[in-house]
């Protein structure tokens, strides 16, 4: 994934503060267009108009649309990882019990799906990458949260803690992802965090026994019910 990290490979960097401010406006304008209208609406003219800039200012930094997209992909990847690492290191997880770890980690998952990662998905679509950058970031997030939860494996009642954490996080992450695109709009953050935390904790802490195996003679062939 190193091709997403440098953030400077496609940029003719500005030296003056005024030029840097112009660059930031161009970048933000491009990201907003990508998120709202998609890559087909991303033209040099649309970007500079939204940024209240000039075509000359754009071409002073980038050779064209593809050059801009390459730069944005690297920059957003770098910024998203930095923010995630900062969020992880903001708490001493070793001093927190499982219930509060679950709540804190769900908050991280909810917040990780916002801000820069939204732009990451838009850039994946624009570059025709099929979600590779966002999916890699999402896997990284789930893996990091799983590691935090498994540090409290002695508090997990499920007979297979690794499996429980893996499936519990996939279920809650899917719930969070689905809520973002719900037809009636996303839930308020605190409600989503509370419900997703309850889902995860119930799966991890409610003791379960393996279901009795169904005998072959008792299995139902669902095609038979239609005669």
136-157 per-position pLDDT tens digit: 888 898 999 999 999 999 999 9
Contact by Cβ (8 Å): 31, 72: yes
Residues 166 and 192 in one domain: yes
Label residues 200-210 b or e (16+ Cβ within 10 Å = b).
bbebbeeeeee
Residues 185 and 88 in one domain: yes
- Residues sharing a CB contact under 8 Å with residue 94, sequence separation 6 or more, in sequence order: 151
Three-state secondary structure string covering 91-118: CCHHHCCHHHHHHHHHHHHHHHCCCHHH
pLDDT of 135 > 70? The answer is yes
Residues 35 and 134 in one domain: no
- pLDDT for the residue numbered 143: 93
Contact by Cβ (8 Å): 89, 144: no
Number of domains in the chain: 2
Half-sphere exposure of 26 (CA within 13 A, CB side): 28
Residues 90 and 30 in one domain: no
The Cβ of residue 19 has, within 10 Å, a number of other Cβ atoms equal to 14
- Residues sharing a CB contact under 8 Å with residue 200, sequence separation 6 or more, in sequence order: 102, 106, 168, 169, 171, 172
Mean pLDDT of 86-96: 87
3-state helix, strand, coil in the chain (%, to 5): 70, 0, 30
CATH number assigned to the domain comprising residue 34: 1.10.10.60
Report if residue 217 sits inside a domain: no
pLDDT of 12 > 70? The answer is no
CA 91: distance to chain centroid?
20
What is the value of pTM for the model shown?
Answer: 0.72
CATH number assigned to the domain comprising residue 191: 1.10.357.10
């Amino acid at each position: 994934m190193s091709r997403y990290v440098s953030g400077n490979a496609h940029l003719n960097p500005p030296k003056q503060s005024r030029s840097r401010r112009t660059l930031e406006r161009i970048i933000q304008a491009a990201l907003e267009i990508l998120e709202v209208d998609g890559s087909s609406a991303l033209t040099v003219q649309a970007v500079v108009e939204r940024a209240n800039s000039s075509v000359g200012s754009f071409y002073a930094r980038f050779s064209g649309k593809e050059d801009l997209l390459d730069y944005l992909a690297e920059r957003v990847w770098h910024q998203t990882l930095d923010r995630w690492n900062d969020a992880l290191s903001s708490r001493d997880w070793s001093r927190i019990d499982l219930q509060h770890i679950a709540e804190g980690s769900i908050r991280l998952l909810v917040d990780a799906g916002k801000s820069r990662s939204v732009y990451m998905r838009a850039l994946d679509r624009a570059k025709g990458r099929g979600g590779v950058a966002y999916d890699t970031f999402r896997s990284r997030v789930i893996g990091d949260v799983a590691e935090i939860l498994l540090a409290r494996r002695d508090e997990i009642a499920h007979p297979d803690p690794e499996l429980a954490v893996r499936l519990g996080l996939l279920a809650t992450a899917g719930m969070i992802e689905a809520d973002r695109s719900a037809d009636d709009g996303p839930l308020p953050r605190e409600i989503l965090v509370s419900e997703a935390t309850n889902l995860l904790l119930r799966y991890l802490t409610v003791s379960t026994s393996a279901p009795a195996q169904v005998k072959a003679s008792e299995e139902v062939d669902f095609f038979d019910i239609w005669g």
